Amino acid sequence: MGTDILQLLAEEGQGANMKIALGVSGGIAAYKAAEIVRQLQERGARVQVIMTAAAQEFVRPLTFAALSGEKVITSMFSAGAEQPNLDSAVEHISVAQSLDALLVAPATADTIAKFAQGIANDFLSTLYLATKAPVIIAPAMNVNMWEHPATQANLDILRRRGVHIVEPGSGYLACGMVGAGRLAEPEQIVAATLEQLGMAQDLAGQTVLVTAGPTHEPIDPVRYLGNRSSGKMGYALAEAALRRAAKVILVSGPTALQPPAAAETIFVETAQQMRTAVLDRWERCDVIIMAAAVADFHVKSISPEKIKRNGAIELQLEPNADILADLGSLRHAAGKRTPVLIGFAAETQSLLENARDKLTRKLVDAIVVNDVSRPGIGFNSERNEVTIVTAGDAILVPEASKLDVAQRILDAALRIRQPHPAAAIFAD
């Protein structure tokens, strides 16, 4: 196998996004896989398309390469490689095991038979044997082929092995016959795949706005006041919400991070710009999570010229408006319970007390407290440990990746949005 393909697969372990390998096997329905690529990307996934030789008779790899933004794998050994490298061929098997999921759509009778019997004579069938990721198969074929005992027996073998089958629909088939064998709808296939990945669809139809990163407050044309926020927690929240099917608006201060492609990202620099971006959009949001480390002050008069080093200077600072507190007041004045408002707090002592104080002062639903005195978590780290403080609760989220912590914060947002029915009985 060519190193270019290895490279594509090797990147998977490093990427923040989940990676789904989409195997396309030969059938009229192959073109429908294009829509599946699009929908998976909308949910924040990177999609590596693998086409069997037969699939390439129906759709050209270029279509999938353009859609997925990734090189399409079309054979075991990349074209032009005169001396396939055995080490590489072995290496790809270990890399294949780090995929998040293998989806095959459409899956032909031939591909299903190969998987069931353990035949590994092309890239897709080899990958199936090599990967330990969940496997999802969406069959599509002529009704007689579908109903044939050989196909059904092969499917039974796969089901027993834990492969998830997205059953085909019934209707007019490309061959002119009527019956079962039509590829399930792309929405169904995508939903089944995400479900296998343990990704809840519970934010479908909801808009989640996240602020992230620091703000920079200019001093002169080349200098600014800033802080150490990396933006990682906010970007993880955006990613996590996308995975749960939310529409995501990410309002980001300056960071070195790549925003998730499926999020609507608004880049801002100053606290004032962040405030405008948030206040322009807050009313159409269901959940707002302010993970940004907004600068508390801005420079009163920004020098239009670069300040020369002629001894000491004095900067007069003015406080910035508190965006979260403004949102809390606006929501309160509108007499609404939406959007759910969640803020962050960086504390070194009296964590719960300070968080509860912020909660009531800013009229918000929850404060996520970071203990910034603890090394190895928080600012610029990949991991975090937080306590989610609400009016009646304080939930400790033990140290975990920022993406996992983000999921727990979204769980809390959903609980606030849709309180358990029993809770209403005790509410004021």
Name the one range near ligand CTP by CB under 6 A: 59-67, 89-97, 343-351, 396-404. 343-351
Residues in the chain: 428
The dihedral built from the CA positions of residue 157, 159, 162 and 165, taken in this order, carries a sign that is positive
Binding of ligand CTP by 324 (CB under 6 A): yes
Q: Which of 28, 175, 200, 414 is catalytic?
A: 175
Applying CB under 6 A, which of residues 5, 133, 241, 323 lies at the interface with ligand CTP? 323
CA–CA dist 398, 405 (Å, integer)? 8
Q: Which residue has the tokens 């948030």?
A: 278
Applying CB under 6 A, which of residues 12, 322, 365, 385 lies at the interface with ligand CTP? 322
Two tokens at 409? 């914060």
What's the N-to-C CA distance of the chain in angstroms?
65
Smallest separation (angstroms) from ligand CTP to the CB of 223: 20
Beta strands in 17-59 (DSSP E): 19-24, 46-51
Smallest separation (angstroms) from ligand CTP to the CB of 375: 18
Two tokens at 150? 């050989």
CA–CA dist 370, 354 (Å, integer)? 11
Which residues, 6 or more positions from 115, have their beta carbon under 8 angstroms from its beta carbon? 104, 125, 128, 135, 137, 154, 158, 163
Number of residues that bind ligand CTP (CB under 6 A): 14
Return the number of the residue (202 or 326) whose C-beta is nearest ligand CTP.
326
CA–CA dist 119, 220 (Å, integer)? 67
Binding of ligand CTP by 47 (CB under 6 A): no
Name the one range near ligand CTP by CB under 6 A: 54-62, 89-97, 344-352, 414-422. 344-352
Binding of ligand CTP by 271 (CB under 6 A): yes
Residues 210-229 that bind ligand CTP (CB under 6 A): 211
Return the number of the residue (206 or 320) whose C-beta is nearest ligand CTP.
320
Two tokens at 344? 């962050």
Binding of ligand CTP by 292 (CB under 6 A): yes
Applying CB under 6 A, which of residues 343, 390, 405, 415 lies at the interface with ligand CTP? 343
Q: How far is CA 417 from the centre of its chain?
A: 21
Catalytic, 175? Answer yes
Binding of ligand CTP by 123 (CB under 6 A): no
Q: What 3-state class would DSSP assign to 388?
A: strand
CA–CA dist 309, 49 (Å, integer)? 57
Applying CB under 6 A, which of residues 290, 299, 377, 410 lies at the interface with ligand CTP? 290
Q: Which residues are catalytic?
A: 175
User: Footprint of ligand CTP on this chain (CB under 6 A)?
Assistant: 211, 271, 290, 292, 294, 320, 322-324, 343-346, 358
